[in-house]
Amino acid sequence: MIKIEKADRLKQLPPYLFAELDRKKDEVKARGIDVIDVGVGDPDQPTPQHIIDTLCEAVQKPQYHRYPSYTGMNNFREAVSAWYDKRAGVKLHPLKEVVSLIGSKEGIAHIPLAFINPGDVVLVPSPAYPVYKIATQFAGGFPYEMPLLKENGFLPDLDKIPTDVLAKAKMMFLNYPNNPTAAPATPEFFVKVVAFAKAHDIMICHDFAYSEMAYDGYLPPSFLETPGAMEVGIEFHSLSKTYNMTGWRIGWAAGNSEIIGGLGQIKSNIDSGIFEAIQIAGIEAMRDDAAWLAEMRTLYEERRDVVMRGLAEMGIKADAPKATFYVWAEVPAGYDSAGFVAHLLEKTGIVCTPGNGFGDPGEGYFRIALTVSKERLQEAVDRMKKTGF
Ligand SMILES: *Cc1c(COP(=O)(O)O)cnc(C)c1O
């Protein structure tokens, strides 16, 4: 038997906060309780049929069976630049300013390897999608957490970052519309970010995963449409959330050509791109999607309204999300995040996510994902009302 010891980069990871919740969920299920899981941010609906049909056709063609290009098929990257032009009025060079990704998580996880040396600081929001911080640590960088607070509209207060941190900071992750807080960013905030990036030589990596999941006529701005953004940053995007394609693993990064080039160089040494039949289906997904987007938005809007009505009746505070499929709600008095989520699971069979699982400033909140039908959400609300807290 040899001695098998994990590397420091794995040992340094914090304990998995949801382990106890997962255990409890299994225990509640084993008791025969009908569990309503609004914990995970994964669309419950199928991928639109025309996208599946396009894949089925493409998969028959031997030309797509070989190694794909590392950086993406030219026509996929052209479709991405056409999307940016149509959606945000941003003109991109498809080959220099776009790189395909095996889901945006892949690119987010790899970008620090291209630019971060041990000791460099990366500014990451908190609460947040956990990958920004972990990817920074894997690259030997030091994550500096910028708290996202309600009083600032869940935008980081850039003026509060200490000078000594700024001196070492090389990269900043942002994500709007935001997971988990559902907050949108204003164009004015992005203008401030560009000026800040230029003043301190900080690369901006904006995660735009929820760009199309927006309601009541709101259309979230792309970071890249901010004047000067192409000089300082890139944007990660993905087909996962918009087209119910989380399992397909297809996304991209777009923006500054030097940053895109660095990410592409890392990727060409690690992976071999996205299966080309999936890229062909991805092109189909982005084509003529107005009717689909309207349908998708209506679905989540209706679900959101069921939850917001229920929470209001119970006196639980939450702002109705203008975007994303999350409701970021305040836990009732007398509980912390973990305690309230455990109470809900134990007494009602509802699984949601404790806010502190996304970082300490998320303490005092819980996240509901609108990823079950409105009938099930109504059932969840009714159970909460009946049980009380
Ligand atoms: C879901 C999600 C993604 C998308 O990940 P993919 O790898 O593209 O499926 C990226 N960022 C955030 C914040 C997300 O919530």
The tens digit of pLDDT for each residue in 90-135 reads: 999 999 999 999 999 999 999 999 999 999 999 999 999 999 999 9
Per domain, the residue ranges of the chain are 8-45+291-387, 49-286
CATH topology (fold) of 8-45+291-387: Aspartate Aminotransferase, domain 1 (3.90.1150)
CA distances from 189 to 165, 175, 192 (A): 21, 12, 5
On whether the 49-286 domain is CATH 2.60.40.1580, my answer is no
Task: Say what the pLDDT of residue 10 is.
Answer: 93
Please give the average per-residue pLDDT across 365-374, as a whole number: 98
The residue contributing the CA closest to ligand 1 atom 10 is 209
Q: Copy the structure tokens of residue 192.
A: 């401030």
Q: How far apart are CA 165 and CA 237, in angstroms?
A: 28
Query: Of the candidates 122, 218, 139, which has an alpha carbon nearest to the alpha carbon of residue 176?
Result: 218
Residue with CA at minimum distance from ligand 1 atom 3: 209
In the chain, pLDDT over 90 holds for what percent of residues? 95
With a 6 Å cutoff on the Cβ, whether 250 touches ligand 1 is no
Residues 6+ apart with CB under 8 A from 56: none
Write down the pTM of the prediction. 0.97
Pull the structure tokens for residue 33. Answer: 């309780």
Per-residue pLDDT band at 169 (split at 50, 70, 90): very high
48: tokens are 């639109």
Nearest atom (ligand 1) to Cα of 238:
8
Integer Cα distance of 88 and 85 in angstroms: 6
Distance (angstroms) between ligand 1 centre and the Cα of 142 equals 22
For ligand 1, is residue 103 a contact (CB within 6 Å)? yes
Q: How far is the CA of 181 from the centre of ligand 1 (A)?
A: 14
Kindly report the protein residue whose alpha carbon is nearest to atom 11 of ligand 1: 209
Neighbours of 151 (CB within 10 A): 6
Q: Determine if ligand 1 sits within 6 Å of the CB of residue 238.
A: yes
180 cis-preceded (ω within 30 degrees of 0): yes
